Amino acid sequence: MSARICLFFVSCTICAFAQQYDIVLKGGRVIDPRNNIDAVRDVAVHGGRIAAIAAEIPASQARKTIDVAGLVVTPGLVDIHAHVWSGIRGDTTNGGNKSFFPDHVSFRTGVTTMVDPGSSGYRDFPDFRHIVIEKAATRVLAMINIVGAGILSYEMEQNVHDLDPEKAAAMAMKNKDVVVGFKSAHWWAANFLSVERAVQAGKIANMPVMVDFGYFLKERPYSHMVAEILRPGDISTHCFRWPAPLLEDGTPAEFLLQARRRGVKFDVGHGGGSFHFRLAEPLVRAGFYPDSISTDMHASSLNGPMQDMPTTMSKFLAMGMPLGEVIRASTTNPANEVLRPQLGHIAVGAEADVAVFAIERGKFGFADVAGGRIDGTERLRCEMTLRAGKIVFDYNSRAAVPWKNGNLRYPEK
């Protein structure tokens, strides 16, 4: 072997060794609330995990370096209220066209984890798991509806004979790798039976409960539910849905503050009918921020005022919630609420679920579900998403190379 060939192989070996990272995101403002990071940093990814976070990581150490200067780098968003049990059952949320397939929406909005809140009950959860959860590139977790039939219709959710905490808990524990809790929703009767049965399932399986309170009746006061029935760690969703009695003379009600001190969590769950500035703005301006920002995305709400996670997050920016707290409520907080603390952050060793956002500045309008509007000067737009270290969305093709001089592979036929 000639000296020139030996030198070539040595050079290749040194180069390969030097490129110890698959991707480096370079020069972005990293906001990771769990790890108290808000600074310009480089983020390196290798083998599907975060490999390094530093002020300077040489581009020579990465197979691909992506310039994200001027952008915000966050953990992948965790949307804990998204109805993804999509199928062919017709006009229903449970395996029908009222739900959507997660990969069609998630990555283009910076979301890497979605939690389906009770679209399925214990009866058809195995189908949901096989058809959607195991097929999606998005990480999909689930809460099991306390009604065995799931959300086939609001009328069927009133069937007291189908509220079965033992069977729901058994199915949850059998699938505890993807099941993270239970859901009580759309209960019409003047009692708390659905909520109480869900909490019973939660106690059996040692998992949290999310409650969509439905209608507000004086016979079953909301204050009693969050103060007496829900446990620390349980979640009240649609927390900015008028006419929830959360304000007293324009300030947060005392029972609301007490419930939060007790550990009850308050989730946005925007949806198509559950978010009103009339309630949200006074509470946010008073410092009562949601514990988690979520979409309650389904087939109709995603084309309504809600739109997506970045839009919903931008509404809270417009109401005065600091950017770091908006990120916290969209990443680490919801991850903790569903007992997945390994998600929602980007420390070294964590799975490399990462979102990159541009903060557009100008004049923007945001609407609630009643047609109410507020104006804002900032809007989040997803630029790039990584799921388990792979680029799954790239709005401005930052990872691509000029086709005229790139070493690209084209099909031969």
Residue 22 within a domain: no
Mean pLDDT of 45-49: 98
- The yes-or-no verdict on residue 406 having pLDDT over 80 is no
Give domain status of residue 97, yes or no. yes
Residue 127 belongs to a domain with what CATH number? 3.20.20.140
The number of domains in the chain is: 1
* pLDDT for 65 beyond 50: yes
Share of the chain above pLDDT 90, in %: 83
Condensed to tens digits (0 to 9), the pLDDT of residues 221-248 reads 999 999 999 999 999 999 999 888 899 9
> If phi over 0 gives left and psi between -120 and 50 gives alpha, with beta otherwise, what is residue 363?
beta
pLDDT for res 408: 87
Is there a contact between 389 and 352 (Cβ–Cβ < 8 Å)?
Answer: yes
- Counting DSSP H helices and E strands in the chain, the numbers are 10, 17
**pLDDT tens across 91-144, in order?**
889 888 999 999 999 999 999 999 999 999 999 999 999 999 999 999 999 999
Structural domain for 339, as ranges? 77-344
The pTM of the full predicted model, rounded to 2 decimals, is 0.94
Residue 69 lies in a domain: no
216 part of a folded domain: yes
Is 16 among the domain residues? no
R_g of the chain computed on alpha carbons: 23
Residue 192 lies in a domain: yes
Average pLDDT score over residue span 381-403: 97
Answer whether residue 198 is part of any domain.
Answer: yes
Looking at residue 2, its pLDDT comes to 53
Please name the residues in contact with 180: beta carbons below 8 A apart, sequence gap of 6 or more. 115, 141, 142, 143, 207, 208, 338, 339, 340
Q: Which positions ≥6 away from 185 have C-beta within 8 Å?
A: 117, 118, 145, 151, 157, 194, 211, 212, 214
Contacts of 73 (CB under 8 A, 6+ apart): 25, 28, 29, 30, 31, 41, 43, 346, 354, 355, 356
What does the pLDDT read at residue 34? 97
Span 202-219, pLDDT tens digits: 999 999 999 998 678 889
**pLDDT at residue 10, as a whole number:** 42
Q: Is residue 368 part of a domain?
A: no
